[in-house]
Structures are given as C-alpha cells and as structure tokens.
A and B are shown apart, each in its own frame.
Chain A
Amino acid sequence: GAVVSQHPSWVICKSGTSVKIECRSLDFQATTMFWYRQFPKQSLMLMATSNEGSKATYEQGVEKDKFLINHASLTLSTLTVTSAHPEDSSFYICSARPQTGLSSYEQYFGPGTRLTVT
C-alpha cells in the first residue's frame, strides 16, 4: 500500500515550452502533496505544498507563475513548468501525505521525474 506514481518518469523538452508532471496517490487519498526539486548531486529542496482544493503554498524563492501547481483531487496533483529553460532541468519528486487511516506524519514519495530542457 501507500504507492505514489509520477508521470512521466522522464521528459525532454525545448526551451520555451511548458511541461506538466503528474503525481498520483494510487491506493490512498492525499490531503497534502509536496513537490521537491533535486539538482544533480544535491539535496531535495521543497518547492511547494499543495492541499486539495486550495492554492499551493510556495517556498521562498520559488516562482509561482513559473511552477504552477494544481491539486484538483485527493489523488492527483500536477506541476506545470511554464516556459521552461535549461536551468529548470532537474529531478522533480512529489510526495503525498495520507488523509486518514495511515500515519499522519508519513510522506510517501513518488519515483521522480527527470526533466531536461534543451
């Protein structure tokens, strides 16, 4: 149980285009989902926290208009990188916190999406 999927697992796009990454909790409902970014050989940095049905809370320094987050249901959150540039190339990881039934302090991580902007 407690499986989180991400789609796509990797994507290559051209500079200036937009890319959407999906994060789904497959066997539980997620009140809260988190989006992290990880540059090569670096740690995970929290980008934003999203709660179902409300606006995401972005961390300091993360551009809201560039990284659009939508948490439309209790099992799906999407991250859209708008007008992507090479410096947005990174590994994006989502995690989901269960609504009920499982430990409320657990975060279950997706497998990550590797974005390369050319």
Chain B
Amino acid sequence: AQKVTQAQTEISVVEKEDVTLDCVYETRDTTYYLFWYKQPPSGELVFLIRRNSFDEQNEISGRYSWNFQKSTSSFNFTITASQVVDSAVYFCALSGLIIQGAQKLVFGQGTRLTINP
C-alpha cells in the first residue's frame, strides 16, 4: 500500500524566514511519482512540482526548492525568504506507475503554513 506522511500539521513563521515542509512516503513500487500541491484559501489545488523515482536531482524554482532522497523516502519542500502570499495548505502526494489508464494519487494530510508579516 502507498502512504504519504506529512508530520507537520501546522507551521507558523515570520515573513522572510526560510521554512521546510517534510514529506515521507511509503511504496513498494520501483517506479513512482511524487508531487507537491499548494491549496490557498480559495480551495483550488495549484501544482508545484512532479518528480519521478529515477530522478533524484534536487530542484530549485525561484524561492522554492525540493530535496528528494530515496534512501530516506523523503521529498521535502523548502521555501526561502517566505512571503505572506505563501500562506496555504501544502500537500505532498504519491502515485504509482500508470496501469490501464488509472493513476491514483495518494495525498498526505497536508501542512498548513502561515506566514506572518
């Protein structure tokens, strides 16, 4: 069975601080995909990143960076110099290899991030 654990339920920091959101996953698949989504108060999910299990390169996109470590089954997300607009719920998700058109996304519980001015 696949499982995603986001141990941090809520994080609150002051603007401009760096913050890391943790994500640990479990899967027996050798090929899988990891995702991060942002859900602002409006509710719409915003796609941030996708990583496949064969690509362990870390990625940086502006103030966002992701650290994927297969050895520890983790896919952590860091926001540098946080801003109030970063306040949202962030979900880490996992899917296996697509089989017969079905691709299930398993979501973590989410981390509610609040950036205070």
Contacts and interface: CB of A to CB of B under 8 A. Distances in A.
Given A32-B102, A97-B103, A109 B44 contact: yes
Contacts of A95: 105
Interface in A71-118: 91, 93, 95, 97, 104-112, 114
Interface string A12-55: 00000000000000000001101000000111111001010000
Interface size bucket, B side? 20 to 34
Contacts, number: 56
A42 B44 contact: no
Given A43-B91, A43-B110, A44-B91, A107 B44 contact: no
A105 B50 contact: yes
Contacts of A109: 37, 44-45, 47
A113 B8 CA distance: 27
Contacts of A46: 104-106
B109 A104 contact: no
Interface of B: 33, 37, 42-45, 47, 50, 91, 95, 98, 101-110, 112
Interface of A: 31-32, 34, 41-46, 49, 51, 57, 91, 93, 95, 97, 104-112, 114
28 contacts: A32-B101, A42-B109, A43-B91, A43-B108, A43-B110, A44-B91, A44-B105, A44-B107, A46-B104, A49-B104, A51-B101, A51-B102, A97-B103, A104-B98, A105-B33, A105-B95, A105-B98, A105-B103, A107-B103, A107-B105, A108-B47, A109-B37, A109-B45, A110-B44, A112-B43, A112-B44, A112-B45, A114-B43
